[in-house]
């Protein structure tokens, strides 16, 4: 079950040219939130908005399409979106909260819903949780080092970053492309990612990522009843072009392969923690 | 020959107290001591040396029913000491929070009160947990009123229990236009319910008042006295709704009029229990032969204003600002119900005036030079005075004079003349919040500490 529970898997992309202009892949996240906002399914969404340094995201509660658009694109560094989950129901006054996040953030969300420690009024206000696939993440300084030192690109010049096909790629404003083998980036990964056993955001309502689908398209898993309901409405409303996942290359085989690779590797790390010391080990949050 | 009966613990109020009652042959109270036996937690002592930002967050934890009062009084006392004026929109958010908390608190107290009362025109005590009408609808209305109060508190204050939004200098966050609309809608809905609830409660309370006999919950009936719960002490209140601080142009509380005495000087000495009643509702009274020593057992200092105990709370506010003049336990209860509409209307007014894009933190937050600041917040149960001295951002001295502390001695006096079996009805009229009321320093006219319980 490396891909988690899901009702449907498919390949999709937004039909909104505005969204696609700056989205990372098929614009699935932004399109879904924009649709849900317009339909009143959510009244705001927590997304990784622009921060005070280039490619350093700052979580925001987006309550308009403009704010959603401003948050498009992947920032390969930590954006603590869950920090706003309570505030969204407080000073923002939301009743139906949307949130996007990496698999670990989806876990935090579900945990808060089931074990709401200091999370009064949060559990019943989560209306749409969109997960994004995630192999690993980087602290901001790590990302800066990768981009500025390894790729030789000033952070300010970068317009898009992408991890895929074993490469870390930076696209600049002036049209240049700088690429390095992913292997070079490993030492900058945040160590916490090495015990993470979820690749495709198993606990989200709908999860999406780039792997498995062609460029400009996204792989989508529709997982929960809520997710299914919203997804089918969005399809009926003409928000997405879709393709049968079986008909696209590389398809689910690659997703499964990468997910298995991540989980196996990180399980090993977890096991090693048990005997890390001499006669004693390090904590395992899963037991 | 008078006898001594003890009800310990008392029930259906916040905290831990007991009643030591000297009664005559008819069971009428000649002298009553109502005292806190809640352990002293020593907030004031442990606040010393802490940052001015932290201390009010700690004092919020004094009580989970009125944490808003302690948070705001604490913060405003610190602001009073350092001389920090907050922006208007922060003030409006605090007012909304205050209204929200009073609404929920009064509604909660209805639940505690109702079991003593009867369905008007019948001899059936009201059981708020009953699934039967008409009580069911009343219980649901109370729940909704509390939900409205707590939800508004959550939005304006960040959290209804221990609000997170207030800070020295104002608030951490303003609210969104959507949140503003939500508060307004909730207040509109609440205003209708609150009026209905007020009318219902006043009918029930007047029905009780007009009965010749009554009982505590489902106990046995005793004859009531005419001046049930009367006392001759005065009233203290600083505002109908919110607060006064030393930064006001015209402050409404006067530190120089406040003194304290030790429980030793005010409560009865050692007593032997000579009367007991195994059939007293909920649990029997203390068995005869046991000893009680109010002087030693009371966990609160006895604050005085102009040298005498003084009543605080809804009736004090109405008496001072609205010429309300109904005495006795039911006079106090009815005054509380009369505060319902204002919670909602003031909330609407404040939210209407709020600019959601206005700044909510003062541009400059001084660090303090050790001057005395105080803030008197009109908590649901009355004037909650916090006094503080802040120097270089740290608390040098902190004192809490909370509503129920003021009311302990007044209520004790109000017990006189009542049948002891109904003493708890008088106590409950004060809506005591006893966790609030345990504070341990005692100061004299010169504000010198004359007694201090050791806190291990
Ligand atoms: C750290 C990281 C690692 C990833 N690894 C993989 C991978 O290995 N394989 C794969 O297929 N996909 C991966 N993705 C997902 C992929 O890069 C896209 O985010 C995803 O396909 C969504 O694209 P979109 O066009 O639908 O979204 P868009 O419409 O472009 O919107 C992207 C959304 O993601 C949010 N977001 C951006 N950065 C972050 C962040 N750091 N944390 C939380 N939310 C953020 C934005 O706020 C925005 O709402 C990763 C994403 C991140 C953030
Ligand atoms: S690898 Fe796991 S822990 Fe690290 S950011 Fe991605 S989901 Fe979170």
Q: What confidence tens digit (pLDDT) does each residue in B232-286 have? A: 999 999 999 999 999 999 999 999 999 988 888 889 999 999 999 999 988 899 9
Ligand number, closest to the Cα atom of A20? 1
Q: Do A90 and B176 touch (CB under 8 A)?
A: no
Q: What percentage of chain B carries pLDDT values higher than 90?
A: 82
- The pLDDT score that the predictor gives to residue B438 is 59
Q: CA A99 to CA B419: how far, in whole Å?
A: 61
Using an 8 Å CB-CB cutoff, list chain A residues near B160.
Answer: 120
Helix locations, chain A, DSSP H:
17-22, 28-39, 65-70, 85-88, 103-114, 140-144, 225-236, 251-274
Please say if the pLDDT value at position B447 is more than 70.
no
- The pLDDT score that the predictor gives to residue A251 is 97
| Residues whose CB is less than 8 angstroms from the CB of residue A191 and which lie 6 or more positions away in sequence, other chains included | none
Contact between B134 and B119 under an 8 Å Cβ cutoff? The reply is yes
Residue B373 CA to ligand 2 center (angstroms) comes to: 49
Q: Do A93 and B175 touch (CB under 8 A)?
A: yes
- The pLDDT score that the predictor gives to residue B147 is 98
Helix locations, A3-158, DSSP H:
17-22, 28-39, 65-70, 85-88, 103-114, 140-144
- The pLDDT score that the predictor gives to residue B168 is 98
Which residue is it, tokens 């089931």? A114
Confidence of residue B63 (pLDDT cuts 50, 70, 90): confident
Q: Find, among A132, A129, A109, A105, the residue nearest to A33 by Cα.
A: A129
Please say if the pLDDT value at position B6 is more than 80.
yes
The 3-class SS string of chain B reads CCEEEEECCCCCCECCEEEEEEECCCCEEEEEEEEECCCCCCHHHHCCCCECCHHHHHHHCCCCCCHHHHHHHHHHHHHHHHCCCCCHHHHHHHHHHHHHHHHHHHHHHHHHHHHHCECCCCCCECCCCCCCCCHHHHHHHHHHHHHHHHHHHHHHHCCCCCCCCEECCEECCCCCHHHHHHHHHHHHHHHHHHHHHHHHHHHHHHHHHCCCEECCCCCCCEECCCCCCCCCCEECCCCCCCEEECCCCCCCCCHHHEEEECHHHHCCCCEECCCCCCCCCCCCCCCCCCEECHHHHCCCCEEEECCECEECCHHHHHHHHHCCCCCHHHHHHHHHHHCHHHHHHHHHHHHHHCCCCCCCECCCCCCCEEEEEEEEEEECCEEEEEEEEEECCEEEEEEEECHHHHHHHHHHHHCCCCEHHHHHHHHHHCCCECCCCCCCEEECCCCCEEEECCCC
User: Measured between CB atoms, which of B160, B165, B178 is closest to A93?
Assistant: B178
- Chain B: give the shortest CA distance to residue A54, in Å: 26
What letter does residue A256 receive in the DSSP assignment?
H
Please say if the pLDDT value at position B454 is more than 50.
no
Q: What is the pLDDT of residues B34-57, one digit of tens each?
A: 988 877 778 888 999 999 999 999
Q: What are the pocket residues of ligand 2 if the criterion is a CB atom closer than 6 Å to any ligand atom? A: A 102-104, 134, 136-137, 192-193, 196
First-to-last alpha carbon distance for chain B, in angstroms, is 42
Q: What is the pLDDT of residues A90-126, one digit of tens each?
A: 999 999 999 999 999 999 999 999 999 999 999 999 9
Which residue is it, tokens 């002891």? B420
Whether the complex's predicted ipTM surpasses the cut of 0.85: yes
Q: Do A89 and B165 touch (CB under 8 A)?
A: no
> Taking residues B334-353, what's their average pLDDT?
98
Size of interface A-B (CB pairs under 8 A): 44
Chain B residue nearest residue A118, CA to CA: B159
């Amino acid at each position: 079950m490396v891909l988690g529970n899901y009702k449907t898997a498919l390949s999709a992309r937004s039909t909104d040219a505005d969204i696609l202009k700056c989205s990372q892949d098929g614009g699935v996240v932004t399109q879904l939130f924009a649709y849900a906002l317009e339909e009143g399914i959510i009244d705001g969404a927590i997304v990784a908005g622009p921060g005070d340094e280039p490619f350093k995201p700052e979580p925001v509660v987006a309550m308009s399409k403009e704010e959603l658009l401003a948050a498009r694109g992947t920032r390969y560094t930590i954006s603590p979106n869950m920090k706003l989950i309570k505030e969204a129901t407080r000073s923002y006054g939301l009743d139906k909260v949307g949130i996007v996040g990496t698999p670990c953030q989806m876990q935090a969300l579900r945990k808060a819903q089931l074990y709401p420690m200091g999370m009064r009024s949060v559990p019943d206000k989560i209306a749409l949780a969109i997960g994004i696939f995630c192999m690993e993440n980087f602290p901001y300084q790590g990302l800066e080092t990768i981009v500025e030192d390894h790729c030789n690109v000033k952070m300010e010049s970068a317009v898009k970053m992408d991890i895929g096909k074993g490469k870390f790629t930076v696209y600049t404003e002036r049209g240049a492309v700088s690429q390095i083998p992913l292997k070079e980036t490993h030492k900058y990964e945040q160590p916490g990612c090495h015990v993470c056993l979820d690749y495709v955001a198993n606990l989200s309502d709908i999860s999406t990522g780039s792997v498995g689908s062609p460029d400009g398209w996204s792989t989508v898993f529709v997982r929960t009843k809520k997710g299914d309901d919203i997804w089918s409405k969005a399809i009926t409303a003409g928000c997405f072009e879709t393709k049968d996942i079986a008909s696209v290359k590389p398809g689910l085989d690659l997703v499964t392969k990468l997910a298995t690779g991540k989980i196996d590797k990180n399980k090993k790390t977890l096991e090693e923690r048990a005997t890390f010391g001499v006669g004693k080990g390090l904590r395992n949050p899963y037991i | 020959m008078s006898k001594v009966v003890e009800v310990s613990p008392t029930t259906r109020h916040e905290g831990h107290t007991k009643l030591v009652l000297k009664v005559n042959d008819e069971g009428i109270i000649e002298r009553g001591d109502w005292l806190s036996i809640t352990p002293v937690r020593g907030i004031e002592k442990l606040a010393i040396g802490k940052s001015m930002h932290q201390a009010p967050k700690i004092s919020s934890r004094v009580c989970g029913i009125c944490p808003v009062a302690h948070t705001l009084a604490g913060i405003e006392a610190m602001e009073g000491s350092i001389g920090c004026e907050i922006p208007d929109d922060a003030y409006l958010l605090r007012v909304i929070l205050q209204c929200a908390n009073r609404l929920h608190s009064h509604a909660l107290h209805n639940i505690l009160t109702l079991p003593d009362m009867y369905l008007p025109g019948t001899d059936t005590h009201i059981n708020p947990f009953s699934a039967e009408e008409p009580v069911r609808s009343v219980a649901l209305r109370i729940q909704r009123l509390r939900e409205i109060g707590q939800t508004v508190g959550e939005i304006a204050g960040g959290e209804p229990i221990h609000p997170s939004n207030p800070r020295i200098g104002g608030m951490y966050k303003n609210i969104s236009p959507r949140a503003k609309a939500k508060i307004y809608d909730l207040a509109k809905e609440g205003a209708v319910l609150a009026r209905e609830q007020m009318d219902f409660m006043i009918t029930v309370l007047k029905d009780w008042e007009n009965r010749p006999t009554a009982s505590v919950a489902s106990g046995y009936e005793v004859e009531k006295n005419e001046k049930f719960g009367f006392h001759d002490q005065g009233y203290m209140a600083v505002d109908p709704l919110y607060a006064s601080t030393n930064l006001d142009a015209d402050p409404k509380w006067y530190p120089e009029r406040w003194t304290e005495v030790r429980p030793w000087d005010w409560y009865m000495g050692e007593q032997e229990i000579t009367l007991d009643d195994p059939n007293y509702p909920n649990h029997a009274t203390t068995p005869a032969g046991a000893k009680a020593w109010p002087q030693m057992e009371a966990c609160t200092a006895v604050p005085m204003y102009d040298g005498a105990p003084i009543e605080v709370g809804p009736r004090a506010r109405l008496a001072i600002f609205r010429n309300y003049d109904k005495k006795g336990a039911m006079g106090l209860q009815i005054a509380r119900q009369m505060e319902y509409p204002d919670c909602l209307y003031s909330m609407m007014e404040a939210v209407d005036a709020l600019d959601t894009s206005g700044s909510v933190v003062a541009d400059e937050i001084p660090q303090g030079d050790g001057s005395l600041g105080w803030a008197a917040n009109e908590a649901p149960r009355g004037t909650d005075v916090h006094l503080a001295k802040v120097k270089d951002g740290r608390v040098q001295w902190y004192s809490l004079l909370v509503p129920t502390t003021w009311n302990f001695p007044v209520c004790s006096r109000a017990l006189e003349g009542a049948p002891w079996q109904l003493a708890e009805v008088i106590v409950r009229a004060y809506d005591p919040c006893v966790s609030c009321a345990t504070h341990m320093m005692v100061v004299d006219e010169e504000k010198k500490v004359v007694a201090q319980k050791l806190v291990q």
